[in-house]
């Protein structure tokens, strides 16, 4: 990995950022009474995936810290999936959108787990 490329060039970062933005845009259509619950939660957790990747990448020379932050990103990704479940069950998103977002989140999880299993590739 080219150290000058930075975390924004990591495939997992680009995919998670894109998903977070898509979640943000679709959540604008959710009912107003969800502002302080589902909307804020789904936005917060989807964005936290990206921020934890950035933090972990900056600490990549410290393997334990890197793994910890990427593990946090994976946890936030899983929480995003929970909120997607709620959005789908409440019929705020279609089954097709739910499946697309969930599949993308699953892919992000696989990429994060690769990073956790192979921290030396990111030094």
pLDDT at 123: 85
Query: 96-105 long-range contacts, Cβ below 8 Å, gap at least 24?
Result: 97/26, 101/19, 101/22, 101/23, 104/15, 104/18, 104/19, 105/19, 105/77, 105/80, 105/81
pLDDT at 5: 63
pLDDT at 21: 98
Rounded average pLDDT over 60-87: 97
What does the pLDDT look like over 13-49, one tens digit per residue? Answer: 999 999 999 999 999 999 999 999 999 999 999 999 9
**What DSSP state is assigned to residue 7?**
G
> What is residue 37's three-state secondary structure?
helix
Tell me the pTM. Answer: 0.93
Over 60: is that where the pLDDT of 1 sits?
Answer: no
- The domain segmentation of the chain, as residue ranges, is 7-122
CATH superfamily of 7-122: 23S rRNA-intervening sequence (1.20.1440.60)
């Amino acid at each position: 990995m080219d150290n000058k490329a930075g975390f924004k060039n990591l495939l997992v970062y680009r995919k998670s950022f894109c998903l977070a933005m898509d979640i943000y845009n679709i959540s604008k259509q959710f009912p107003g009474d969800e502002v302080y619950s589902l909307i804020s939660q789904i936005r917060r957790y989807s964005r936290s995936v990206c921020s934890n990747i950035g933090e972990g990448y900056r600490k990549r020379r410290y393997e334990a810290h890197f793994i910890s932050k990427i593990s946090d990103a994976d946890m936030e990704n899983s929480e995003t999936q929970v909120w997607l479940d709620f959005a789908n069950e409440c019929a705020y998103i279609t089954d097709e959108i739910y499946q697309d977002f969930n599949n993308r989140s699953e892919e992000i999880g696989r990429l994060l787990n690769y990073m956790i299993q192979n921290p030396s590739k990111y030094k």
